[in-house]
A and B are shown apart, each in its own frame.
Chain A
Amino acid sequence: MFRLYKWWRPRRRAVSEPPLRPETAEQRQQRERRSQRAFKYLLAALLLLLSAVLVNRFHTLRAQVQDAADVLAPLTELQTQLQQEQDQYQSLLNEAQELARQEASLQDQFLANQDLLQEADQDLGQQLAFSRVMAGTVEVKGAGVTLTLSDAEGIDYSTATAADIIHDQDVANAVNALKILGAQAIAVNGERLTATSRLICNGPTILVNRTKLAAPFVITATGDQAVLLAGLNENPRLKELKAGGKTVKIEASAELVIPAFNDQALIDEAVNSLKVRTE
């Protein structure tokens, strides 16, 4: 380093520390030539380093582009497949809903014609309506509350810890709180909760019935609005979530529609494994 300095700044040295003997012209020339040569070497070395870095950078860039393409190709393919399956699921679900509506309508038509029914069967319509409500296969409308739970706002998911996000337990507890408060019908992101509804963690999503839901979790419930609102506002677990920086929004909703549960396959699955005692 010192030598470099010596080569590099000979002039200043000459000013601050004049040589004891005056330099001859030849010496001076020699010194300047040396200095120039040193500078050229340094420049060459730096340019070499620069080109090495550039080449390296080009290689990594190319590798990264290749990597990205390798990763992306199957991902894009999967995305397309997923989209197709999702579209199909939605259309099948719509079809199921339409079929269920048609069936209900046929049944109601038949029941409307009370003359056909014997006296013992006169209350069949009421029984049917009752069992539909209890099973959750009919849409419920009315006043209620909308509770939105979401992860802490603006968090960086690459560094987020378990404490920063909403878990299945949080949603399950909120749903349970609504049941304690006497909610009549509850849905999470539009998924109606029934007697067999699971609500569990599934990677970064929560599985409700058959549907994977991602935050924000919007829990809608009909019932006595004042009771539901007051109860949620006082709920210690929700307060805890809020204090932890998570989004907890409690809103009154005048006209809620809680969708019907129409997954007949899941109903059949349950009914097939639950045997009614015959004796």
Chain B
Amino acid sequence: MKQRMKHIALNVLLLLICLLIGLLIALQLKNVETGRQADLINNASADELKEMVADLREANADLAEENEKQKNNLRELQNTQENTDIRVQQLRDEIQRLEIFAGLVEVQGSGAVITVTDGQNNKVDGSMLITIVNQLRAGGAQGIAINSQRLVAMSEIQTTGTPPNTNIVINGTVAGSGNGIYTIRAIGDRQVIQSTYDMMSATINYYLLRGIGVQIDYVDSVTLPALSADSPAYRYGEMSITQSD
């Protein structure tokens, strides 16, 4: 009897040890797996962090410089507070500066012209133009127009109609009068535009494969029209703005 008990106890002990080993091995395998994943994530975020820090440093340097300029500007404004002529001129300059930035003035500069044309079976879609325009902006384009329409903050790019009779409407106007030729003109650093454009080659190739024509030319001088006076992209007069006090 005693021997029998001993035997059972031994069996149970063996079972427990086996279980423990099994558990540990399983745990080990699992750890190796997650360890690998954790490493990957950490590596990726280290690079990302470095890039973020570098970007922020650059932005901070820009901002600090700009703030210095602005402080001088303010000092000058305060000093000339009594001099009406100078103040009026300063105001005109400021208005001009804001209008240029907003796209309300015809401007010239070096940059690129991208011509996008309808294919035999596929028409150009508004989203293609949005993608190209966004990429141009990413490449530092400072002003963009499509055909005769200057793109301002509230400019829309809308595909209207039902296929195959679609048009692209920009600033409330049918772009290219529906001839299927979209000329995107952008002013900016040509080299930066070129490298960003090259980066979107996969997208461009996709358009080309669908028969859409895409052609880019880098030019010394390109002219962008001002936003036309009757454009619905003017949203002034309907909104309440916060007055500075």
Contacts and interface: CB of A to CB of B under 8 A. Distances in A.
A23 interface: no
B134 A267 contact: no
A3 interface: no
A180 B157 CA distance: 7
A53 B109 contact: no
Instruction: Point out which of B91, B101, B102, B108 has the most chain A C-beta atoms below 10 A from its C-beta.
Output: B101
A233 interface: no
B244 A101 contact: yes
B153 A194 contact: yes
Interface of A: 11, 39, 42-43, 46-47, 49-50, 53-54, 56-57, 60, 64, 67-68, 71-72, 74-75, 78-79, 81-82, 85-86, 88-89, 92-93, 95-96, 99-108, 110-111, 116-118, 121, 124, 127-142, 158, 168-169, 172-173, 176, 179-180, 182-186, 193-200, 203-204, 207, 210, 212, 222-223, 257, 263-265, 267-271, 273-277
B20 to A, nearest CB: 7
Where chain B touches its partner, the secondary structure class is helix
Given A92-B63, A99-B67, A270-B143, A60 B156 contact: no
A270 B37 CA distance: 43
Contact of B91 (A107, A197, A270, A271): A107
Interface in B38-64: 38-39, 41-43, 45-46, 48-50, 52-53, 55-57, 59-60, 62-64
Contact of A105 (B24, B106, B236, B245): B245
B21 interface: yes
B109 A273 contact: yes
B92 A124 contact: yes
Nearest to A211: B59
B74 A222 contact: no
Given A49-B21, A131-B95, A139-B241, A92 B153 contact: no
Contacts of A223: 235, 238
Contacts of B63: 89, 92-93, 96, 263, 265
Interface residues of B, number: 104
A104 B244 CA distance: 7
Nearest to B239: A184
Contact of B73 (A103, A110, A186, A275): A103
Nearest to A193: B153
Contacts of A274: 100-101, 105, 107-109, 142-143, 187, 224
B65 interface: yes
Given A78-B49, A135-B153, A185-B235, 20 more contacts: A43-B14, A46-B18, A53-B24, A53-B28, A75-B49, A89-B56, A92-B64, A101-B244, A103-B73, A105-B244, A105-B245, A110-B81, A132-B241, A134-B152, A158-B37, A182-B235, A184-B154, A198-B138, A204-B48, A274-B107
